[in-house]
């Protein structure tokens, strides 16, 4: 996809990272806007959360879009990649609107602020550290699959204590993943020897990766510390 260069290009890496963070921010804003609109519109959320087939269809569409983007983004145009990414962010907004019905706004705001702080700190660490974080990759992937499996099992048992510890583990994994992913994306930016169109599409892919880290970190923090509505 791209050639490794024998030297680093800090300016190129910074420019690439700006694009990654820019698209990530746009996607997060899109998700927040859709979530707020759906979660504060009774006519919409009543129909949505009372229709299991509709909800399952939206979740399947989310999974399909993120897999499609991850595997096929190089075969898309930049415009098509942007549209697919924004569509995914909108679908996530629809499903995450449920948090507005479950948790108080104060706890949602607090969880978001803490998430932003943790994400920002780990992103800075991943960008500036001299340590090689690549060895953490396989460990974090294994941990992520373990968390997903535990969540699926606990959907059956519905154990609140298990849910708490699963979310604690997920927070740790996504915190470390943020640093790992930022360093990986930075190194791609340093070694890019491709055309402008490919750079733009790789920036979208990097934005999707960090977007997923942020959203998952936020949701699991909210599950740990969020105060539920009466």
- Residue 202: what pLDDT? 94
- Residue 7: what pLDDT? 39
Please list the helix, strand and coil fractions of the chain in percent, rounded to the nearest 5, in that order. Answer: 85, 0, 15
Residue extents of the structural domains in the chain: 10-225
Separation between Cα atoms, residue 222 and residue 106, nearest integer Å: 11
Residue 94 tokens read as 């629809």
Q: Hey, is 66 helix, strand or coil?
A: helix
Q: Is 158 left (phi over 0), alpha (psi -120 to 50) or beta?
A: left
Identify which of 115, 209, 106, 229 has the alpha carbon closest to the alpha carbon of residue 167.
Answer: 115
- Residue 193: what pLDDT? 72
pTM above 0.75, yes or no: yes
- Residue 62: what pLDDT? 96
Q: What is the residue-level pLDDT of the chain in tens, covering all 230 positions?
A: 333 343 344 557 889 999 999 999 999 999 999 999 999 999 999 999 999 999 999 999 999 999 999 999 999 999 999 999 999 999 999 999 999 999 999 999 999 999 999 999 999 999 999 999 999 999 999 999 999 999 999 999 989 999 999 999 999 999 999 999 999 999 998 887 778 888 999 999 999 999 999 999 999 999 999 999 97
- Residue 12: what pLDDT? 77
Which residues, at least 6 apart from 85, have a Cβ–Cβ distance to it below 8 Å?
23, 27, 69, 204, 207, 208
Classify the C-alpha dihedral 203-66-101-31 as positive or negative: positive
- Residue 6: what pLDDT? 35
- Residue 10: what pLDDT? 52
Which residues, at least 6 apart from 215, have a Cβ–Cβ distance to it below 8 Å?
28, 31, 92, 96
């Amino acid at each position: 996809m791209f050639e490794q260069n024998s030297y680093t290009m800090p300016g190129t890496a910074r420019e690439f990272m700006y694009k990654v963070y820019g698209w990530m921010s746009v996607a997060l804003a899109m998700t927040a806007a859709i979530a707020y609109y759906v979660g504060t519109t009774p006519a919409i959320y009543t129909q949505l959360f009372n229709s299991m087939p509709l909800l399952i269809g939206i979740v399947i569409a989310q999974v399909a879009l993120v897999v499609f983007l991850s595997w096929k983004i190089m075969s898309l145009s930049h415009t098509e990649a942007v549209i697919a990414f924004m569509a995914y962010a909108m679908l996530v907004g629809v499903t995450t609107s449920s948090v507005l019905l479950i948790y108080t706004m104060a706890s949602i705001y607090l969880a978001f602020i803490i998430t932003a702080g943790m994400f920002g700190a780990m992103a800075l660490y991943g960008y500036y550290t001299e340590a090689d974080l690549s060895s953490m990759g396989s460990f974090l992937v294994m941990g992520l699959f373990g968390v997903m499996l535990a969540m699926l099992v606990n959907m059956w048992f519905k154990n609140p204590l298990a849910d708490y510890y699963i979310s604690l583990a997920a927070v740790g994994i996504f915190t470390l993943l943020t640093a790992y992913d930022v360093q990986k994306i930075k190194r791609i930016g340093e070694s890019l020897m491709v055309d402008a169109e490919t750079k733009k599409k790789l920036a979208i892919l990097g934005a999707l990766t960090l977007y997923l880290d942020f959203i998952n970190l936020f949701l699991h923090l909210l599950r740990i510390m969020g105060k539920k509505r009466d």
